[in-house]
Chains A and B, each alone.
Chain A
């Protein structure tokens, strides 16, 4: 039997991951002959790390996903700088821009998404390309361009106060730019945060030198003049970073007559309405959800590799719980599930804690003891613990307050006075010596720490209880 010809269109995080997952299951290529068509000239890179590149913590060459020789070494026909411009589903071929064709038995669309540019006057040139000084925040090339323009003191406008916009803003502020975020909604990250959290987040970021224009629309950009807003004010900007959302790349699928909504529609087998054509990652729309995060894309890549290599032909993708984490230095924010629930909502148990002065906000929504939504800002321990409960569908601990504080605090050690210790309390762990044994030994005449050690062996292991034993001895001396 000859190998199944699988063609992947897109060499981003989903496409590259899919190729790796296939070769992990089929290292020799016996089952799958793999061709990957990638539009960019360089090797696949890790988009998640791009905010680190903007912030200057991650070198541009450290974000690639694979070595240059990965495809060769793994028997993958990788075609970089190649653009797929059509699918002939009857003949089962993909047509490339150079008029060549690649035949497939199974086609995987991993075309990703492209930034959405608001129709603000001046952001784009008449030909549709971005105006000088305007950069989207999407590709590695974008990041390189941003960092080349982001000298300390440069006024920068970030259009969009969503997750990526704020990561870019934080990174640029860290470089010493004068950053203003323009966001059309009244609070930041409105999809993931309620208004209270949005306010605390804005305040925290203001403390790091970022300014905000909330509920304001940019109306016009003029190089040298900055960004004009609909409230009549103006934001100085020598650089405009646009991060106003993305749109799935569905053109190739739509042109081929494949069903498309906001993304390419797929079922639990990641199949489109043509069973030989699949879609994963940002371009795919699964049960109403369009991607945008890497975790679903990677899980889809694994499921599809299971299916197409025959490792697990019945594998199903049933969705990924979404946890949003802001990657911004000195700001720890996690948001998950449905958080747009009022504290007095009768169907849910909602806890909320706000400490704007210290940049902390915690909201927890539970239903039937399960976490259904949470916002944790400035509460990293709670964020980690609550995410575990959410991901693993575990019932929440009854001590809700401890959960919200982030750590199940062990009872404070009774260090106040030896008098307060119960007799059964173990003072010397290494030799299992209780307070009661020390008391008995003391009353039998071992009234110094060394005599107590001789009699009970307390302090003779690691010696960590020397102070405690001395205190017990002193306490007994003072009470006798």
Chain B
């Protein structure tokens, strides 16, 4: 039996593995060092999961019925063309995903702008990495989640993790934290926090105040790097004016983190020869997520970490291709190569590669939640094509999103299984998954990885590239404009990205097959890639990093008498995102079968709830039913829910779609709730 070297289909660590038939073996690689978590070990089970889609489905008389590919494509193309003719190109919208390969993400953006002529495309990475991306771009002039290889962390003296729980979300990553003094910032005593030297436990939605407080303490203790600030940054003076008002005792009152622990954290970081500050979704998924990330970057800059050999600032990307997925044009305001869609030079370059008139490219469209919110509204899209996303579980304020999807004239979903969103569709296309197709991803460290096809797809299943080709041709596009071979698409992506911030032009499948470690930018075929960015200069024209004066705002929805608790959401080790894949793996379901809510035992008792009983968690937007898990380390006024479960166990029935003004990130991480009997 042949063995194929590949990478795990789940998170952004992209653990290396081999597939011998359908048998997974871990593989040595710098990121996972031969480790796999339970999701990785069992990932091949999804290939043969019960309920795997093998035929297109078209809703007729209210029921999804099997149809041929040609019939299904004809139905969709005809209706899209009709809507476009009657209501204009923006009446058709596209929603992508951070799990799609670079090739698919690229082709999806091109399909929307060229075949549909629609500005209305965004993707679920808006719910994931958008705040990190906005803050990184603002500070450094460029967003690559980790601008250094993961293995740099092995030699770090101290690491501060703000709002990240890698012991559950990317377990093999934890190997890289073993050498450092670890400081974990998390409202929960997470599995990662338990391993930390110091756990700072702020109230949800107060991370920004905490970051300001640490900056204040660093200044008061004389621990900032004044030479670095003078030579490599601008904006410290204005930033200090804000941080000056956040003395440790005030920060303590807002966050609940003691002044003594703030001081301890700063001293640990400053005493280390090399140190890193890393953020995750806990810091970023807020209506002030961009500013919160900026506050952590400001702190890291004050300590002189970014762009200093052996030290750095990074954001831990979540989804499998969360990095590459945000670079190549499925984002509302973006063109391939991390170009801005409103930049005339970018439009001209990309239009040239695509063989179209630059003027024909639409401008920026709505961000993800705003797009969903507009569906079926008079000025909004009437059709939506969904790729690699399970919106009814993963988008905020699920009930409302369900209403908007129901208001569409046409909902088309391409997926591997009949996800909750696919069940609501008018047309469903069965598409290939990991291992049945080739394609590249870009991991959390900005390294481009090739996942080669290891197995034939089941009969009746086609790749997303095939699907896009079929629709594009039916919509009047030349067949050669939408190739179906991943490597051909990638070669076009290389040209489209050439000269852009995320330049892939020097990356080829053959270099990747040869095992070259290529971190973008790779601006020429002979270029060795860029494992570490910013060592000499940051990507702003003047080469300097920007400290951005940002101030604390607090949760968009404060606690009150009716909703006295804050709910925060996150992931479990056994499940991935909406659980559409992992909930079909027996072993994972046995280990984590259903929604639960973590509660302080006193809070449960006051609500008349016992450990192990079912509880209703109620917000202004919905009601979730979950099993009570009493956890003494929880704050009394906070509950936690994992967001992987469907139906009435959906944590996102509760969440608040208040949006970050810059990144348009919804406030997943804190909303006001109360506990009730189910």
> Which residues of chain A come closer than 8 Å to B600, judged between CB atoms?
397
How many angstroms from the CA of A383 to the CA of B220 in the assembled complex? 21
> Which residues of chain B come closer than 8 Å to A392, judged between CB atoms?
559, 637
Stretch with Cβ within 8 A of B (4 or more), from A146-154, A208-216, A457-465: A457-465
In the complex, whether A327 has a CB less than 8 A from a CB of chain B is: yes
B632 contact from A325, A380, A394, A410, Cβ within 8 A: A410
Tell me which residues from 54 to 72 in chain A have a Cβ below 8 Å from any Cβ of chain B: 57-58, 62-67
In the complex, whether A431 has a CB less than 8 A from a CB of chain B is: yes
In the complex, whether B221 has a CB less than 8 A from a CB of chain A is: yes
The verdict on A384 contacting B256 (CB below 8 Å), with A325-B249, A410-B632, A460-B35 known, is yes
CB <8 Å contact, A380 and B573: no
How many angstroms from the CA of A290 to the CA of B287 in the assembled complex? 36
Stretch with Cβ within 8 A of B (4 or more), from A45-53, A77-85, A89-97, A356-364: A45-53
In the complex, whether A388 has a CB less than 8 A from a CB of chain B is: yes
> Which residues of chain A come closer than 8 Å to B191, judged between CB atoms?
429
> Which residues of chain A come closer than 8 Å to B260, judged between CB atoms?
332, 380-381
The verdict on A430 contacting B38 (CB below 8 Å), with A49-B244, A67-B241 known, is yes
Tell me the smallest distance from the CB of A197 to a CB of chain B, in Å: 18
CB <8 Å contact, B37 and A431: yes
In the complex, whether A432 has a CB less than 8 A from a CB of chain B is: yes
A461 contact from B35, B203, B250, Cβ within 8 A: B35
A: interface residue count bin: 35 or more
CB <8 Å contact, B241 and A463: no
How many angstroms from the CA of A224 to the CA of B354 in the assembled complex? 88
Tell me which residues from 548 to 598 in chain B have a Cβ below 8 Å from any Cβ of chain A: 559, 573-574, 587, 591
> Which residues of chain A come closer than 8 Å to B244, judged between CB atoms?
46, 49, 62-65
One digit per residue, 1 when the CB lies within 8 angstroms of any chain A CB and 0 when it does not, for chain B 642-657 equals 0000000000000000
Measured CB to CB, the nearest residue on chain B to A378 is B260
In the complex, whether B240 has a CB less than 8 A from a CB of chain A is: yes
In the complex, whether B488 has a CB less than 8 A from a CB of chain A is: no
In the complex, whether B257 has a CB less than 8 A from a CB of chain A is: yes
Tell me which residues from 373 to 393 in chain A have a Cβ below 8 Å from any Cβ of chain B: 380-381, 383-385, 387-389, 391-392
CB <8 Å contact, A430 and B37: yes
Tell me the smallest distance from the CB of B159 to a CB of chain A, in Å: 15
CB <8 Å contact, A380 and B35: no
> Which residues of chain A come closer than 8 Å to B632, judged between CB atoms?
399, 408, 410-411
In the complex, whether B26 has a CB less than 8 A from a CB of chain A is: yes
The verdict on A380 contacting B602 (CB below 8 Å), with A391-B253, A410-B189, A432-B38 known, is no
Tell me the smallest distance from the CB of A315 to a CB of chain B, in Å: 15
> Which residues of chain A come closer than 8 Å to B175, judged between CB atoms?
462-463
Tell me the smallest distance from the CB of B511 to a CB of chain A, in Å: 30
The verdict on A380 contacting B259 (CB below 8 Å), with A323-B253, A432-B574, A460-B26 known, is yes
> Which residues of chain A come closer than 8 Å to B257, judged between CB atoms?
384
CB <8 Å contact, B36 and A460: yes
In the complex, whether A398 has a CB less than 8 A from a CB of chain B is: yes
CB <8 Å contact, B602 and A398: yes
CB <8 Å contact, B256 and A462: no
In the complex, whether B41 has a CB less than 8 A from a CB of chain A is: yes
Measured CB to CB, the nearest residue on chain A to B251 is A384
How many angstroms from the CA of A67 to the CA of B236 in the assembled complex? 12
In the complex, whether A313 has a CB less than 8 A from a CB of chain B is: no
Among B38, B189, B203, max chain A CB count under 10 A is at B38
How many angstroms from the CA of A430 to the CA of B39 in the assembled complex? 9
In the complex, whether A75 has a CB less than 8 A from a CB of chain B is: no
> Which residues of chain A come closer than 8 Å to B240, judged between CB atoms?
62
How many angstroms from the CA of A314 to the CA of B306 in the assembled complex? 47
Tell me the smallest distance from the CB of A347 to a CB of chain B, in Å: 23
Among A52, A411, A461, A463, max chain B CB count under 10 A is at A461
One digit per residue, 1 when the CB lies within 8 angstroms of any chain A CB and 0 when it does not, for chain B 157-199 equals 0000000000110011111000000000000010100110000
> Which residues of chain B come closer than 8 Å to A423, judged between CB atoms?
none
One digit per residue, 1 when the CB lies within 8 angstroms of any chain A CB and 0 when it does not, for chain B 252-284 equals 110011111100000000000000000000000
In the complex, whether A132 has a CB less than 8 A from a CB of chain B is: no
Measured CB to CB, the nearest residue on chain A to B38 is A431
How many angstroms from the CA of A389 to the CA of B247 in the assembled complex? 20
How many angstroms from the CA of A457 to the CA of B172 in the assembled complex? 13
Measured CB to CB, the nearest residue on chain B to A462 is B174
In the complex, whether A257 has a CB less than 8 A from a CB of chain B is: no
Tell me which residues from 445 to 480 in chain A have a Cβ below 8 Å from any Cβ of chain B: 457, 460-464
In the complex, whether A288 has a CB less than 8 A from a CB of chain B is: no
Tell me the smallest distance from the CB of B178 to a CB of chain A, in Å: 8
B: interface residue count bin: 35 or more
How many angstroms from the CA of A59 to the CA of B171 in the assembled complex? 44
> Which residues of chain B come closer than 8 Å to A27, judged between CB atoms?
none
A385 contact from B168, B256, B591, Cβ within 8 A: B256
The verdict on A461 contacting B637 (CB below 8 Å), with A49-B247, A432-B573 known, is no
The verdict on A461 contacting B36 (CB below 8 Å), with A67-B237, A397-B600, A430-B172 known, is yes
CB <8 Å contact, B252 and A461: no
A327 contact from B38, B249, B574, B602, Cβ within 8 A: B249
One digit per residue, 1 when the CB lies within 8 angstroms of any chain A CB and 0 when it does not, for chain B 107-139 equals 000000000000000000000000000000000
In the complex, whether A395 has a CB less than 8 A from a CB of chain B is: yes
In the complex, whether B238 has a CB less than 8 A from a CB of chain A is: yes
> Which residues of chain B come closer than 8 Å to A67, judged between CB atoms?
237-238, 241
> Which residues of chain A come closer than 8 Å to B38, judged between CB atoms?
430-432, 457, 461
Tell me the smallest distance from the CB of B237 to a CB of chain A, in Å: 7
In the complex, whether B77 has a CB less than 8 A from a CB of chain A is: no
> Which residues of chain A come closer than 8 Å to B227, judged between CB atoms?
none
B41 contact from A295, A394, A410, A431, Cβ within 8 A: A431
How many angstroms from the CA of A380 to the CA of B249 in the assembled complex? 11
How many angstroms from the CA of A46 to the CA of B636 in the assembled complex? 34
How many angstroms from the CA of A42 to the CA of B531 in the assembled complex? 49
CB <8 Å contact, B241 and A65: yes
How many angstroms from the CA of A410 to the CA of B196 in the assembled complex? 14
Tell me which residues from 412 to 429 in chain A have a Cβ below 8 Å from any Cβ of chain B: 429
> Which residues of chain B come closer than 8 Å to A394, judged between CB atoms?
636-637
In the complex, whether B633 has a CB less than 8 A from a CB of chain A is: yes
> Which residues of chain B come closer than 8 Å to A399, judged between CB atoms?
632
Tell me the smallest distance from the CB of B609 to a CB of chain A, in Å: 15
Tell me the smallest distance from the CB of A56 to a CB of chain B, in Å: 10
How many angstroms from the CA of A63 to the CA of B34 in the assembled complex? 52
How many angstroms from the CA of A62 to the CA of B36 in the assembled complex? 50
In the complex, whether B222 has a CB less than 8 A from a CB of chain A is: yes
A462 contact from B35, B258, B606, Cβ within 8 A: B35
How many angstroms from the CA of A366 to the CA of B298 in the assembled complex? 40
CB <8 Å contact, A462 and B172: yes
In the complex, whether B539 has a CB less than 8 A from a CB of chain A is: no
Tell me the smallest distance from the CB of A24 to a CB of chain B, in Å: 9
CB <8 Å contact, A464 and B195: yes
Measured CB to CB, the nearest residue on chain A to B177 is A462
The verdict on A395 contacting B636 (CB below 8 Å), with A57-B220, A410-B189 known, is yes
In the complex, whether B245 has a CB less than 8 A from a CB of chain A is: yes
Tell me which residues from 360 to 404 in chain B have a Cβ below 8 Å from any Cβ of chain A: none
Measured CB to CB, the nearest residue on chain B to A410 is B633
> Which residues of chain A come closer than 8 Å to B238, judged between CB atoms?
67
How many angstroms from the CA of A380 to the CA of B262 in the assembled complex? 11
How many angstroms from the CA of A66 to the CA of B261 in the assembled complex? 28
In the complex, whether B219 has a CB less than 8 A from a CB of chain A is: yes
Interface residues of B (CB under 8 A from A): 26, 34-38, 41, 167-168, 171-175, 189, 191, 194-195, 203, 219-222, 237-238, 240-241, 244-245, 247, 249-250, 252-253, 256-261, 559, 573-574, 587, 591, 600, 602, 605-606, 632-633, 635-637
Can you sample 21 A-B contacts with CB below 8 Å?
A49-B247, A52-B220, A62-B244, A64-B241, A295-B253, A380-B261, A381-B261, A383-B252, A384-B259, A388-B635, A397-B600, A429-B171, A430-B38, A430-B172, A431-B38, A457-B41, A460-B26, A461-B38, A461-B171, A463-B175, A464-B174
By Cβ-Cβ distance, the 6 closest A-B pairs, closest first, are A380-B260, A384-B258, A325-B249, A462-B174, A430-B171, A380-B258
Additional 5 contacts, C-beta under 8 A, given A325-B249, A384-B259, A462-B171: A295-B250, A327-B249, A383-B252, A384-B261, A432-B573
